[in-house]
Amino acid sequence: MTTPFLHFKGGKGVATGFGGIVALMPIPALSAFGVWILLVGITRKVSVGSLGAALSLPVLYFYLSHPMIKSVFIVSILLAILVIITHRKNIGRLIRGEEEPIF
């Protein structure tokens, strides 16, 4: 995701998406945020947290939502795929050991 506020060089796509997801599936979204906090705390890399939270969202929705709505579950899977696609460069830097820590 890009934003004009960062000169179209990446942006707040995961954070913006998180806001929408909280409205759609609050408990799984907040649980995925917990995964993000845990992973960023351990690795000090925001991209690891974002990828982990995105990948955990469909799993968390599946186990924490009763009744589970199939279309919302599919949206959670598509969002996880979108985050992976938009983080391709970050994934490459992680593999090469070049991703900068947050602190």
Residue 12: which pLDDT band, with cuts at 50, 70 and 90? Answer: low
pLDDT of 98 higher than 80: yes
What percentage of the chain's residues is helix, strand, coil (to nearest 5)?
Answer: 75, 0, 25
Written as six digits, the tokens of 49 are: 């947290």
pLDDT of 10 higher than 70: no
Over the stretch 49-92, which tens digit does the pLDDT of each residue have? 999 999 999 999 999 999 999 999 999 999 999 999 999 999 99
Q: Which of 3-12, 45-54, 84-93 is the least confident region? A: 3-12
Burial group, residue 24, by CB count within 10 angstroms (0-12, 13-18, 19+): middle
Over the stretch 18-38, which tens digit does the pLDDT of each residue have? 888 999 999 999 999 999 999
